[in-house]
Each structure stands twice: as C-alpha cells, then as structure tokens.
Amino acid sequence: MSTQKKLRSSDWFGKQDKMSFVHRSWFRNQGYPDDYFMNRPVIGICNTWSELTPCNGHLRDIAEVVKRGVLEAGGVPFEFPVTSLGETVMRPTTMLFRNLTSMDVEETIRANPIDGVVLLTGCDKTTPSTIMGACSVDLPTIVIPGGAMLNGHFRGECIGSGTFNWMIKEKQGVENYTMQDILEVETGVARSQGHCMTMGTASTMACMSEALGLTLPGAAAIPAVDARKKLLAQLSGRRIVEMVKEDLKLSRILTRNAFENAIVINSAIGGSSNFIIHLLAIAGRIGVPLSLEDFDVTGSRVPLLVNLKPSGKFLMEDFYYSGGLPVVIREMQPYLNSDVITVNGKSLCDNCTISPCYNTDVIATLQAPLQSEAGMVVLKGNLCEQGAVIKPVAASAHLLKHRGRAVVFECIEDYIARIDDPDLDIDENCVIVLKGAGPVGYPGMPEVGNVDLPMKLLQKGVKDMVRISDGRMSGTAGGTVVLHVSPESAIGGVLALVHDGDMIELDVAARKLHLDITDEELAARKASWQPPAPMATRGYVKFYIDHVQQAHLGADLDILRNGSGAEVIRDLH
Ligand code: FES
C-alpha cells in the first residue's frame, strides 16, 4: 500500500534496526502477519467501555465492527482502553475526572504508534474527555457515539432516563410511589444498552460531535442497539484509514466556524447546559478562541426545533426515526457556516441537503419552530462577574424575570440537612442559593444546581423556583436554574457573600443577575470573607484544585490548554 505521507507509525515499525525489531516482535505474539507492519495506517480505537459505565457497556462489540472496517480499508486496528467515566456511580462526580481521562487519552495516543484515532464514546463525560485528549495530539480522528437506549416505558407511558430521576422525590412524597413501583420504573427506563435517551448531556454530546463534523452524517441519533449503529462503526473504520491518507487532522475540522455551528445546532436541539463547559474546554485544546459570551451571541436567538425531553415530549429513538440530526442541520442552514469540512471531507451542510423529516411533531421546521428563540443565555451582574448561564427553554416563563429573597445553603450537605425542615423559612417566591458547588469548592463541579424544592412546597403544588449556584445541572433536568456562577464561592466570588434575606434580581431578557446590596456592604463582606479549607491535600484531587480553571473557561486544567501535537517529547529510537 502506498500513502501520500510518511506514516507516524513507521517510526516504530518501518525501520530495520534493533528497536523496530522490538516494536514488531512483541506485537507478533498476537499472531499478526508481516504485512501488518509494512506501511499500513495504524488506527487506535480508543474505547471507553467499562462494566462500571453501563451506558458504554456495548462498546467492545462496536470496537470489533470498527476493526472490520479498518482492515477492509487496509489499515491495522489496535484497540486500547482509557479511563471510563460512568455518570451514575462515580463519586464525587465524573466531572472531576474529565480532565484526567483527557490526559490519559492524550498521552496514550502520543506515546504509541498510532496514525489515526477512533473514539468510542457514550456516557456524558466520555465524549468531551476523549475529544479533548485527541485535540491535544491532533491526529486524524473520528467519533462514534455509542447511541442512546431505546425509549423508556412504564405502565403505558414513555419515560426518559435521567429525567425521571428528578421526579422521584415528588413521586414518592406526593404520589405515594412504593418501593415496588420504583423497582418497576428502573427496569422500564433502562430497556437496552446505550446512554440516556433524553436530550441530556450524553445525547447533546453526540449531537455536538456530529455538528462539529467529527462523525459520519447521521451518527448521533442512531440507537445503541440498532444494527445501523454497527453499520456506522464499520464505515467509520473504513473512513479513518482514508482520513490518515488525506492527513485530515482534527485542527482542519475544528475551526472557529465549526464551533459556531455546534452552538447553533445545540440551541436548535435544546441541548444540555453542560454543552457550554465542554465545548469551551474542547476549543481551548484545539486552540480556537471561544468565550462564554459566544454562546449567547451565536446561540440565544436561534429557534428551537427538536421536541425532546427534558424540555419537550419525545425521546432519542423518536428523534432518530424522524430523521435525526441531519434534518436539523438542513433546516438550520441559514444559520450555519457552510465553509467547514467534516470527517468525510464534505461540508456539514452538503452532507444534509437530502435529509427528509418523517415527523414534524418531533423535529419542527424553521418556518414553524417550537419556540422562536432558544439556546443558552449568559447572565452578568455583581453576583457573577465572569458570567453565569441559564437555559430558558427549560425554565418557567413566569420566573424569567424575578426578584426574591435569598435562602442560602453554604454547601450541598447543608442543603440536604435543612431543605425539608418544616421550619425552614421559605416560600415559592424565594431564591434558593447554593454555594460550594463550583470546580474548586466541590471538586469537579457536580450536577446539583437543580436542587429539589422543599417537600412542603412540592406538596403545595409548587413546580419551580429560581435556584442559583456555582454548580452544574444534569442535561436531563429542568427548571429556572442559574448555573456555572463564576467566579465560584470557594475562591471568593460574590456568591460566597450572599446572606439569607438578601434580595436577588434575575432578569433573563436583560441578561442580569444582581445581588441587591449596597457597594459598601458588599465591600465589607468581601473584606471579612475567609476561604474554606481545601478539599484535598494530596493526589489527583489536590492537583485538580490547584490547576482547574473557572466555569467560564470550561473548567479545564490551566496546564492542559492547547496541545503538544503528535511529537514524542524525547525519542531515543
Ligand atoms: Fe450515562 Fe446518562 S448516565 S448517559
């Protein structure tokens, strides 16, 4: 086989010296023939499979299919494991390990004889972490989203994984669900392999990957167990070999225009607020300037087309049968940059010119959108000098302009201890303020921003209240929730200075979040503020706390921004 460019892997396998003998010889214990090492593109299949990450539990099967495609195209596949991030079980939060996994991915790719990479992703953080790591090396790379589970079903109703979690307190406390009911829901909501089937963070990340041009067209919405997922995997295996020959690296695809497209598409699908933090981090790795404000400027006046839970009605399986993301891309063409290329070498828009919609209840048209303006709004004000975000489409319209009395919780443990205290002085007009949930304060910045309402208010029928925190919110959740307040309370952001009884003003249309106290009072509180004790004094968590950046920068580690390319730092061979 001839390739246009000398392969990176030939530095390991292509010489006639002692070290190339060593490199080839040990691989031979797997029974590979001579020609495996004769200038064939070596494809690393980066697998986030783990039995501890149920959402990615099928990815070993998918990896085998990718290998078929790689071999058919003349490449040589080598599968490798990386740290897998299982959203439902990892403590304190998978987000603490997103950057760690990205380092694992980056260093594994760079240190090995790899010419191109296939990223097998699924559960929330497994997508951004692997893309971030791959960006810092910048080889030809293709993403295969693992796909969502089949629609959840329970007693004749369609229910969404993740989204149902946020109703359990209400179901038990108000509708008297028994343990048997809960056990039944568990099995009904997780009917097949795959990730959450709402437009939560995992589905959002799959759509982000496709919108950035990192997948073959139509990849994001294919359910995990649909045979077409395997077809996609095989074709992706073939395509990555071609991408190596074309030297179609990540940096040629991930341009500023591609990021803008991803922001537009995220608004049109009603994607997760976590999209912001992950896209900022990915942009930081590939070296594309992107700011928090870009999400508002580019994405906040975009119509909403996709009617999926948590803010809508349907689920990912319905989205796929309706035509999936290519329909959204075709509809949104007037908003998109057309001069971007995707992994198949064609532009995002050209890939989707013929993409019929099969159900306009699920994917609306641009002429008749579900809402004329969707997307994330970036708030500014004395309470969030570097910004905060809110997803209006998931909020209650009557709370988008609100002034209320703060009920403050110093940390999530404080909230848990007091929220259901019958004597807590709180009503539906109050603003729940949660501190200590930012990247440093609760290392990893957990998804606690959408804290449950007090039971006594739920029982009164209250469905939503304004909640403000420096934490994140699960993409499967909703409510009038202000998130990612930056700077966070643990490093002395103004959030740390809010007291019970302070008045807070939220005005989403005006992009305003304001703590209504005098400048003198604010200065006095600042002067007497004491930082909390660090959450860790050793190990990775200490390293993370020392280096993590604030939410408005994507919460990546400062030493990981940009990349080091594919060159090995020292090479004795
Ligand atoms: Fe893995 Fe929701 S828990 S995607």
Q: What is the 3-state secondary structure (H, E, C) of 484-531?
A: EEECCHHHCCHHHHCCCCCEEEEECCCCEEEECCCHHHHHHHHHHCCC
Is there a single domain that holds both residue 291 and residue 428?
Answer: no
Cβ pair 120, 59 in contact under 8 A: yes
Shared-domain flag, residues 90 and 208: yes
Is residue 135 a part of any domain in this protein? Answer: yes
Q: Which two tokens stand for residue 479?
A: 């409510």
Ligand 1 centroid – CA 551 distance (Å): 21
Q: In total, how many domains does the chain have?
A: 3
Handedness of CA 387, 393, 396, 400 (dihedral sign): positive
Atom 1 in ligand 1: residue holding the nearest Cα: 123
Q: Are residues 182 and 203 in the same domain?
A: no
The alpha carbon of 32 and the centre of ligand 1 are apart by a number of angstroms equal to: 37
Ligand 1 probe mutation, 98, 123, 164, 209, most atoms within 8 A of CB: 123
Q: How many Å lie between the centroid of ligand 1 and the Cα of residue 21?
A: 44
Question: What pLDDT, on the 0 to 100 scale, is given for residue 3?
Answer: 45
Atom in ligand 1 nearest the alpha carbon of residue 122: 4
Looking at the domain assignment, is residue 255 inside a domain?
Answer: yes
Shared domain check, 204 and 61: yes
3-state secondary structure 367-400: CCCCECCCCCEEEEECCEEEEEEECHHHCCHHHC
Domain of 160, in residue numbers: 154-190
Lookup: tokens for 489: 């309370």
Pair (162, 243) in one structural domain: no
- Asked if 219 and 119 touch (Cβ cutoff 8 Å), the reply is no
CATH number at residue 434: 3.50.30.80
Q: Please tell me the predicted confidence (pLDDT) of residue 184.
A: 85
Distance 406 CA to ligand 1 centre (A): 32
* Cα-to-centroid distance, 232 and ligand 1 (Å): 21
- Counting from 1 in the atom list of ligand 1, the atom nearest the Cα of 202 is 4
Pocket residue to mutate for ligand 1, from 124, 199, 278, 472, most atoms within 8 A of Cβ: 124
pLDDT digits (tens, 9 = 90+) for 514-573: 999 999 999 999 999 999 998 899 999 999 999 999 999 999 999 999 888 999 987 766
As a whole number of angstroms, the distance between CA 215 and CA 80 comes to: 20
Q: 20 in a domain, yes or no?
A: no
Residues 313 and 436 in one domain: no
Q: How far is the CA of 73 from the centre of ligand 1 (A)?
A: 33
Q: Best of 125, 193, 196, 278 to mutate for ligand 1, by most ligand atoms within 8 A of CB? A: 196
The DSSP annotation for 314-357 comes to B-HHHHHHTT-HHHHHHHTGGGS-S--B-TTSSBTTGGGSS---
Which residues of the chain register pLDDT less than 70?
1-4, 163, 166, 572-573
Same domain for 381 and 518, yes or no, is yes
Q: Both 125 and 168 in a single domain?
A: no
pTM, entire model: 0.96
Report yes or no on 429 lying in a domain: yes
Do 137 and 266 share a domain, yes or no? Answer: yes
| Closest ligand 1 atom to 56 CA | 1
Residue 1 is predicted with a pLDDT of 43
CA of 345 from ligand 1 middle (Å) equals: 31
The domain boundary, picked from 134, 168, 190, lies at 190
The residue whose C-alpha atom lies closest to atom 2 belonging to ligand 1 is 196
In a domain, 237, yes or no: yes
The set of protein residues with a Cβ atom below 6 angstroms from ligand 1 is: 55, 87-88, 123-124, 162, 195-196, 200, 202
